[in-house]
Structure 1
Amino acid sequence: MEDRLTELNRRTCVVLGGRGFLGRSLVLRLLALPNWIVRVADSPRSLHLHPLHDSLLSQALSSGRASCYPLDVLDYSQIFQAIEGSSVVFYMDVSDLQRDDFYKCYMIIVQGAKNVINACRECKVRRLIYNSSADVVFNGLHDINNGDESLTYPWKFEDMMSDLKAQAEALILFANNIDGLLTCALRPSNIFGPGETQLVPLLVNLVKSGWAKFIIGSGENMSDFTYAENVSHAHICAEEALDFRMVSVAGKAFFITNLEPMKFWDFVSLISDSLGYQRPLIKVPARMVWYILLLVKWVHEKLGSRKYNHSVSVHYIQVASRTRTFNCAAAQKHIGYSPVVSMEEGATLTMKSLSNVAEDSYYARYNSFNEQSKIEKLLGSGEVADILLWRDEKKTFIYFLSLVLLFYWFFLSGRTFMSSAAKLLLLINVILFGYGIVSSKIVAITFQRIPPSCCEVSETAVKYSVATLAYIWNNGIQHIQSLAQGEDWRNFFKVAVSLYFLRLILLQSLTAVIGVALVFSFTAFFVYEQYESEIDGFVKVLFNSIKGSVGLLTRNLLASLSSFLRNYNSFLRNKGHAAL
């Protein structure tokens, strides 16, 4: 009898975008409640079920508690068919969008919201709940500390998606109480969870690439995060509040978070730890990162590249360097929201799923960090490459510090080179002699003796060194013979340019040259490897610009010279005629 009563009291709801990340979570939570019949509406390609992950939905489809509808929010008839006869519509993100296609994003987000509103009014749907974002009040330029619903939309957004989301949210809230339709919007901040397709995959790939070791800004900025299941729970709470026609809920927007703000870079550290990578530790000024980003954007625009997504990078830098915390008191008071999954539990579940997220993420498809870089091939892929490319930060830092100390000892200490070398050898001699006479064991500390073989050079190493010197000598002799024959002009120009640059270098202070070379070696190779494609592209654009300028200058000079010669010849002819 009780089951029969429950079946009679079931209401029909529609989840637009029900196969997306948040849509799946909401569908499962609705199906776990006995009083809902759920319609899942999404693009046809998203409606295919996974036999393992969608078992609950498959059972609901078999029993008639769920149904699937193909949906294109730009097709009004499909929206009408999906929501007709329902009492509530949950409007989630319908599909993943390409952020570099403004027209498509505008049509799906803004025009799609208009179509959904009109269809709800025509079908006499009672409640429409929109999944918005906390980004709609964030312009990327200022911190938000415990922000509440009194915050207004910014005049200008740095992120296109936030701008379009704000427009869609405003349309839906403005439609409240028209033709009996009650609306509200939820603004979750930094959504995460197993299967999330934006924030977490981006951070995973930044960690794997090594870029997440750089902290943008002070690293003290706080952020609010929201576990996906808490967002789904908030939607159901909002529906129940709207069902009682609460004036304090209808036409309003509410911030939704886990109520446990934390440092943004602590969250990145959790991901680094779960993947076995180094935590973020190097602080970089946000303004410097911004200028680098503008340069990268310019290079990609010149190259006409479509793989680089500038808006994603801008939004990440803003979120990573600014404080963004929100007050959920209104959601707690008016819709009865409180998190059902704690931050600790949600983070644990998310970190366990990171391997799958990293493989399937949008960003991983465009970034492969296993391929050997050109600079690594140039350096020989050996120990030198590992040191200069910072493969092992501790080892590289030790080498760098040692070279800096030697540079100071020989060039900056004020002594001559010979006196510095003599004092260094004397110091090494004293250390070795002291190490030799010291007791092998002092206060339970054992000193290992240096074996004689440590200072021996193998016969193979000697032969290899001699062969290398012989090769260099013979190669030099061949170049000299080639120059003496006067036939290889390319070789002549190479030698001449090299000697000219060597002359310029030797004209400068040797100390400054060596210092610059030391810093350059430990920074330039690493930077080039990280921005290999961008730097190559910039050089290509610069080369083409110079080539085009030279060609234009040559043509203009030739045209001017030709014009001058014609005028001169004409002048001579006129002068000859006058003489005759």
Structure 2
Amino acid sequence: MDGHVDPYGRSKAFAEQLVLKSNGRPLRNKDNSGKCLYTCALRPAAIYGPGEERHLPRIMTLAKWGLLPFRIGDASVKTDWVYVDNLVLALLLASMGLLDDIPGRGHPVAAGQPYFISDGNPVNSFEFLSRYSTVLDYEISKRSLSVTHGLLLGNFFWALYSIMYPWLNQKWLPQLLMLAAEVYKVGVTHFFSFLKAKEELGYIPLVSPREGMAATISYWQERKRRCLDGPTIYAWLFAVVGMLLLFAAAFLPDFGSVPLVRSFGLLFFRSVPS
């Protein structure tokens, strides 16, 4: 429990322990049938695919706004991803592995066991994400930030997020802050074998990484087509500052006489399409 850097990861580890400890607990049935509760735990990698709303939507929104100024870690870092259909298959197989009424099997094979689930294709997360951003004409910077510096920023943003939580937690406002746990997820190599799930549950990825990527790209292209893309946040800031300076120059004569203000206002006026 002490190895986690945020309450979310710590709570997930604690919940998994409770689930596995509950395996084999007798059920309270009126007929005293002696039935037991059987449990197992799946540990999926980062999930992607059509309809996934946790990872790609946030990252693509940041890329669209121009708010991905650097990558974290070096290019050799690799992590696991899992396509949503493969995860659903693993869930179905795990549920079957907890049945205790299958002929010829005295004990549920999955009872009390944890399983890692992935596509079996470790890849650098930023290289993985750049394939989507390139197709969508969004930009992910090639500049790199070390994990150490990333953790400093993550801890700073954690403190800021804790203070501004009521405002930053609005559903219409995407989470823009980089937290320490996310630095570790993308900046430190961590991937696992699903061999145990293959041998005990019969898990073999139903969709290959290439097929999963093609389906996800197609989904995002259609999603982009239906949504009107706006300018990056830098263009919005330029427009807001320019408008403020123009109003100030118009209504405050002394302010408008400053050469820098006049130059910026003229530049803004010429940059606005007629």
Within 2, Cα distance between the matches of 1:288 and 1:298? 16
37, 50, 53: which one aligns with 1:181:
37
Superposition deviation, residue 196 in structure 1: 0.5
Please report how far the alpha carbon of residue 293 of structure 1 lies from its aligned counterpart in structure 2 after TM superposition. Answer: 3.5
Contact 2:66–2:233, Cα closer than 8 Å, also in 1: no
List per-residue Cα deviations over 1:528-552 (Å, max 9, x = no partner).
Answer: xxxxxxxxxxxxxxxxxxxxxxxxx
1:373 matched to 2:234? The reply is: no
Whole-angstrom distance in 1 between the partners of 2:47 and 2:85: 10
**Do structure 1's residue 344 and structure 2's residue 200 form an aligned pair?**
no
Instruction: Name the structure 2 match of 1:323.
Output: 189
**Residue 172 (structure 1) aligned with residue 19 (structure 2):** yes
Whichever structure has more helix as a proportion of its residues is: 1
Give the direction of change, closer, same or farther, for the CA distance of 1:312–1:290 in structure 2 (3 Å limit).
closer
Residue aligning to 1:230: 86
Of 157, 161, 164 in structure 1, the residue corresponding to residue 8 of structure 2 is 161
Q: 1:209 deviation in Å? A: 2.4
Q: How has the CA–CA distance of structure 1 residues 306 and 155 changed in structure 2, closer, same or farther, with 3 Å as cutoff?
A: same
Once the two structures are aligned, what percentage of the paired residues are identical?
24
Structure 2: 5+ residue runs without aligned partners? 27-35, 170-174, 246-252, 259-274
The one-letter code sitting in structure 2 at the alignment partner of 1:335 is L
Distance of 1:358 and 1:207 partners within structure 2: 13
Distance 1:377 1:310, change over 3 A: closer
Could you list the per-position Cα deviations for residues 140-175 of structure 1 after superposition, in whole angstroms to 9, with x for gaps in the alignment?
Answer: xxxxxxxxxxxxxx4242132222222222122111
String of CA shifts for 1:417-472, please: whole Å, max 9, x gaps. Answer: xxxxxxxxxxxxxxxxxxxxxxxxxxxxxxxxxxxxxxxxxxxxxxxxxxxxxx99
1:218 equivalent in structure 2: 74
Q: 2:137 aligned with 1:276, yes or no?
A: yes
Q: Which amino acid aligns with 1:170?
A: Q
2:58 to 199, 202, 208: 202
Question: 2:214 is aligned with what amino acid?
Answer: T
Maintained 8 Å contact 2:50/2:219: yes
Stretches of structure 1 that go unaligned for 5 or more consecutive residues are: 1-153, 382-470, 477-580
Cα 1:358/1:312, change in 2 over 3 Å:
farther
- Greater relative contact order structure (CA < 8 Å, 6+ sep): 2
SS of 1:234's equivalent in the other structure is: helix
Q: Once the 2 structures are TM-superposed, how far is the Cα of residue 380 of structure 1 from its aligned partner?
A: 9.8
RMSD: 3.5
Q: Which amino acid aligns with 2:8?
A: M
AA aligned opposite 2:137: G
* CA distance in structure 1 between the aligned counterparts of 2:140 and 2:240, rounded to whole angstroms: 24
What SS does the aligned partner of 1:183 have? coil
CA contact (8 A) 2:62 2:176 kept: no
Q: How far apart, in 1, do the equivalents of 2:111 and 2:9 lie? A: 23
CA–CA distance in 2 between the matches of 1:193 and 1:277? 18
**Cα separation, 1, equivalents of 2:159 and 2:225:** 30
Q: 1:379 to 1:306 in 2, by over 3 A?
A: closer
Partners of 1:284 and 1:352 in 2: how far apart? 31
Alignment of 1:30-49 (within 5 A): none
Amino acid at match of 1:228: V
* 1:297–1:242 CA distance, 2 compared to 1 (3 A): closer
Conserved in 2, the CA contact under 8 Å of 1:213 and 1:279?
Answer: yes
Whether the 8 Å contact between 2:50 and 2:216 is mirrored in structure 1 is yes
Asked if structure 1 preserves the Cα contact closer than 8 Å seen for 2:70 and 2:140, the reply is no
Verify the 8 A CA contact 1:219 1:264 in the aligned structure 2: no
The answer to whether the 8 Å contact 1:241/1:249 transfers is yes
1:90-489 to 2 correspondences below 5 Å = 154-179=1-26, 180-243=36-99, 244=102, 245-246=106-107, 248-299=109-160, 306-307=167-168, 313-354=179-220, 369=233, 372-373=236-237, 377-378=241-242
Partner of 2:75, secondary structure, is coil
1:46-65 mapped onto 2 (5 Å cutoff): none
Quickly say closer, same or farther: Cα 1:298–1:169, change in 2 above 3 A. closer
CA contact (8 A) 1:223 1:262 kept: yes
Per the TM alignment, residue 325 of structure 1 is displaced from its structure 2 partner at its CA by 0.5
Contact 1:201 1:357 in 2 (8 A): no
- Pairwise CA distance, 1:268: 1.4
Q: Give TM-score scaled by structure 2 length.
A: 0.70
